[in-house]
Amino acid sequence: MSTDMNPTTAVDTTEVPQVEPADAARLVADGALLIDVRGPDEFAAGHAPGATNIPLDTLDPAALPRDRALVTTCRTGRRGAQAAARLQAAGFNVHNLAGGMTAWAAAGLPVVRDDGSPGTILTPTT
């Protein structure tokens, strides 16, 4: 993994295009790849149908398709924005889901587990 993709490296997320949940769902329906950068346990508890789990600390732009738009997401949007900023800097057409999976669920969009059963968005414990 290159140094510029290190999740602890400061990244300017102010220029990352943000999309609301309905627009993100439309982008995905039109062929965009939805990348969920949460950890595996968070993803397993509940994610958007069709999302691909690539935790932020393992995100490798070289492994992603350049011929598709990308939408990043996490729980609240912060990690997704970091991922989107890094992908944007690498030349990708990328948007971040504003408010993350919390906003997705609040908009009434489906949240599922891998087996298709209803999922939930985990809230971190301290």
Residues belonging to the active site: 74
For 90-125, b/e burial (b = at least 16 CB within 10 A) is bebebbbbbbbbbbbbeeeeebeeeeeeebebbeee
- The span from the CA of 120 to the CA of 126, in Å, is 18
Count of C-beta atoms within a 10 Å radius of residue 3: 6
